[in-house]
Structure 1
Amino acid sequence: METSVKVRTQMYIDGQWTEACSDAKSTILNPATGEVVAEVAYGGAQEAQQAVEAAYQAFPAWANSTADERAAILRQIYHLIIDKADRLAEIMTLEQGKPFEEAKGEVLWGAEFMLWYAEEARRVYGEIIPPSGHRQRLLVQRQPIGVVGAITPWNFPSSMITRKLAPALAAGCTVVVKPAPETPLSAIALFEIFEQAGLPRGVANLVLGDAQEIGSVLVSSEKVRKISFTGSTQVGKYLMEQSAKTVKKVSLELGGHAPYIVFNDADLDLAVDGLMINKFQNNGQTCICANRIFVHSEVADAFTVKLVEKVKGLKVGNGLDPANQVGPLIHQQALEKVMEHVQDAVSKGAVIVAGGQPLTEGEYARGNFYQPTVLCGVTPDMKVYREETFGPVAPIIVFNTDEEVVQMANDTPYGLAAYLYTRDLARTMRVSNELEYGMVGINASTLGYVQAPFGGIKQSGMGREGGRHGLEDYLEYKFLNLNF
């Protein structure tokens, strides 16, 4: 075992830690070294059904608990996550690869959702509507939707769980969590905290294993009333289609293909620094990272020089080494996709001005490492222009007019995040309005704030997570026509 932290390897169903019914196991590898981190329980349909039943049985009591009772547990979870942040971060680095300090930042950010929704639980207000009769009252209540199936990705294995569970639990819902098969240990570590915080049995359940079997149970069960999914557009479409058979509520945070627009009046140093944070966080494996970098022709050369200088200075390696700023890609398939995109671009005329190669020698020999890369001369016929690379590749596209860049930015089925840099207020308002994206960063490259709605439009999904808006997806309206 290549870990200094004790790692539990079981599922958590109805308040009990349990192995898979078949005793099957899944091997978790460190993407930086290829070494085994753990062997975890590998379940399927049977365990998923048990978890759904546990959540269903626990729902009435949890839904009828007071907001203050639910908030107290959420606050306790928050404090425990903060206390155990180093442990959670080390586990994440071992199974996912991101540098330790970045992993710890994710853990702390994820904890904030628990604290935020501990307060929002106390603000689920109803309405009194003016009646039509003298002896009538028209009331509107908001009630928890029921059992929630939460399916989370590997790129943010801790915060995506808390971002879904916090509003669900605050609203009074019970939950079955299916984490990504690459990163179950972060989920297990969080569920240890949920248990320690006193979350009642059955309120939150963790199922590990076969994604198709577990997902099929969640979408087909009449007892599951909502699906919350973060992942690929392809899988999201499947879940939406299958959920329609039982008319479930669905929240989807899917793929992105974010444009990063640098206008000719932009602060270039600010734009470059923002891009470095945005593009190379988690080694480019984020749904909102810049995938197409549009730079005005008047500043393209100056911007590229500044960017290349910083990219060449990035230190790549094992995330447990504090000197490293960029870790490995999650697995070999991810590495192969990055290589394919770069090779395709070069074959069609793009020029590599930084990086452009996998790292395979010495300390990199057993990991999934790729040099942080900058491409110039990128055109619309290249895969890197049309598809989400999900890796450390920054493709630069030159533009001349506002109208041209807006058209290029919108020329995608995705609509999650976009960014623009300019000092012109009129341009800011006009371009922000014309960009077909659910979130727009203006002279800023970060969008994930607990108090703000996170989500996209078009084929990037539906629904929002974060802020008061994130609570809405876990609530139903009930109208009462009271006569006396």
Structure 2
Amino acid sequence: MTLSFDSRKMADALYTGQFCPMFIDGAFVPAQSGEVLDVVDPASGHQLATVPRGGAADVDVAVAAARRAFEGEWSKFTPYDRQEILLRIADLMEKNWDMLCVSDTVDMGLPITRTLGNKRRVIGMLRFYAGQATALHGDYIENSVSQSMISYTTREPVGVVGAIIPWNAPIAASIWKIAPALATGCTVVLKPSEDAPLTPLLIAKLMQEAGVPDGVVNVVTGTGAEAGARLAAHPDVNKVVFTGSTATGQTIARAGVDNLKRITLELGGKSPMIICKDADIAKAIPVAAMAVYAHSGQICIAGSRLFVAREIQDEFIQGLSEFAKSLKIGHGLDADTDLGPLINAQQTSKVEAYIASGQEEGARLITGGGRPSGDPYDGGNFLRPAIFADVRDDMKIAREEIFGPVVSVLPFDTLDEVTARANATQYGLAAGIFTRDLGTAHKMTKRIKAGSVWVNMYHAIDPAVPFGGLKMSGYGKEGGVEHLQAYLDTKAVWIQTE
């Protein structure tokens, strides 16, 4: 792919070590403590910028601003007004898409070709929710108690929403949280990850340009333990939406008990990818590989448990290995990069520990797993994509979410067997199936316990289609009309006519 702009020049213009304040009540401000956090390019180790280390006091100010906006000017906006604003946001983000993608790439490492490729999805989300803003309505209910009574329902915004997002997709995650809130008339306090806080601040600026009133959207930067914890537990936050680890999701669920706030959790996964013996192998290999290697494995839906029919296992592993070796590792700003860095040194060491564990437990490392050396890898958090064979279901690499470029290949003999093994996990976020048999596809999609199941494909996400997990992968849906209902309360109205 050839870029139509100089990505490195744009990155230098955006971030040269400057201070990037957070956004509260329509103003860009420092933390009340004056403390800052360093933001580092994971591909080079160089400092990009600093952001405020927001704490509980800053969250309190942001929530108060969101409450004033919710009960004040924003409450006077009609659905049509909110639709217009969402459409203006979409237009501004589309106009500034290259800048936003460069920001995301340097902030968290995803190759620029992949961030640019998310345009249709992200802008589509904004326009989908804009369309939904004027389609929300209650119901008239034919009263069965008395003919002299009329009953109907209204749908009303829940109030202030606390949104906490991870570092692996700041653009998409920000919009997935903010757009439905705006469509329904809620206000938002967004807490981005401390590892990738820069793009959400750019988005806040664009939203201000689009005419979003002060206090409707606020972005507080800081750590999860400080700013995130306060936002999750805040008594004046009516709903929390969170994407991240299962452990943190459990903490957030507990924090919401005191005021019984609504909570939507999109958490971890250990998703199965099932390659049946009749699969189109040539088509399945690149899809199965990128089901894990996209973003160097740092995606919650990574199909990292690769179940392959025993009859085709050797052929599949050979093709998978050749594909993995062909992937170009490098800085995300380079147009020919396939795999960028992991987010930080801590995550890189964690993945290396999983690779060592796989070998210690008897799995066979087919390829990858080491750190590339020399220029341009010095200072970056790079790992070669790894493939393990001879993996057992009870091995650590087959049970736990690695969040790195590691695939475990597990052979199977029957569909009943592989279905049971695929479901034998605490997670239930996603799954993939490759087969040419329509009957097999229907049978297995019904039996697999996961929130999303893809057949002969993977990673497809559409604003109109609900997304979310089962079991320890969370609860609640994002996407589709169901997503919007989670930001609304239903009120029943009774009228005596006689």
TM-score, normalised by the number of residues in structure 2? 0.95
Instruction: Tell me the SS of whatever aligns to 1:299.
Output: helix
- Match in the other structure for 1:40: 51
State the distance in 1 between where 2:234 and 2:50 align.
29
- Contact 2:180/2:487 (8 A) holds in 1: yes
Deviates more, 1:442-451 or 1:176-185: 442-451
Aligned with residue 181 of structure 2, among 159, 168, 173 = 168
Q: Does 1:458 align with 2:471?
A: yes
1:123 paired with 2:117, answer no
Q: Which residue of the other structure, out of 262, 266, 281, is the alignment partner of 1:268?
A: 281
The CA distance in 2 between the partners of 1:320 and 1:15, in whole Å, is: 31
Q: Tell me the distance in 2 between the aligned counterparts of 1:341 and 1:205.
A: 38
Q: Is the 8 A contact 1:63 1:144 kept in 2?
A: no
Which one is further off, 330-339 or 2-11? 2-11
Deviation track 1:43-94 (CA, whole Å, cap 9, x = no partner) reads 1011100000000011023234111100100000001111111111111111
Q: Does 1:307 align with 2:307?
A: no
Aligned residues of 1:178 and 1:208 also touching (Cα < 8 A) = yes
Rounded to whole Å, the distance in 1 between the matches of 2:327 and 2:181 is 39
Question: Aligned partners of 2:313, 2:21: CA distance in 1, in Å?
Answer: 52
Question: Distance in 2 between the 1:384 and 1:473 partners?
Answer: 35
Cα shift at 1:130: 0.7
Kindly provide the CA deviation profile for residues 371-400 of structure 1, in whole angstroms up to 9, marking residues without a partner as x.
011111111232110111111111111110
Q: How does 1:316-335 map to 2 (within 5 A)?
A: 316-335=329-348
Contact 2:363 2:388 in 1 (8 A): yes
C-alpha contact 2:222 2:228 (8 A) present in aligned 1: no
Residue 5 (structure 1) aligns with: 13
1:141 matches 2:140: no
Aligned AA for 2:209? Answer: Q
Question: 2:184 and 2:282 mapped to 1: Cα distance?
Answer: 43
Letter in 2 for 1:33: S
Which residue type is aligned with residue 6 of structure 1? L
Alignment of 1:219-298 (within 5 A): 219-298=232-311
Q: Does 1:91 align with 2:89?
A: no
- Alignment-derived partner of residue 224 in structure 2: 211
> Are positions 1:417 and 2:430 aligned together?
yes
Instruction: Give yes or no for the alignment of 1:69 onto 2:81.
Output: yes
CA distances 1:193-224 after superposition (whole Å, capped 9, x unpaired)? 11111100110101011322223332333321
Contact 2:233–2:252 (CA<8 Å) still a contact in 1? no
Q: 2 CA distance for matches of 1:448 and 1:294?
A: 23
- Higher mean C-alpha displacement, 394-403 vs 377-386: 377-386
- 1:140-179 alpha-carbon deviations (Å, 9 max, x no partner): 1111111000000001111001011111110000000000
Q: Residue 199 in 1 paired to residue 207 in 2?
A: no
Q: Which residue of 1 aligns with 2:455?
A: 442
CA RMSD of aligned residues (A): 1.4
1:52 corresponds in structure 2 to 63
Distance in 2 (CA, whole Å) between partners of 1:337 and 1:382 is 16
Deviating 4+ runs (over 6 angstroms): none
Cα shift at 1:107: 4.8
Where structure 1 has 5 or more consecutive residues not aligned to the other structure, the ranges are none
Q: After superposing the two structures, state which structure 1 stretch, 60-69 or 249-258, moved more.
A: 60-69
User: How far did residue 352 of structure 1 move?
Assistant: 1.8
**Is the contact made by 1:110 and 1:160 (CA closer than 8 Å) also made in structure 2?**
no
- 8 Å Cα contact 2:291-2:304 kept in structure 1: no
**What residue ranges of structure 2 are gaps of 5+ in the alignment?**
1-7
Q: Does 1:159 align with 2:172?
A: yes
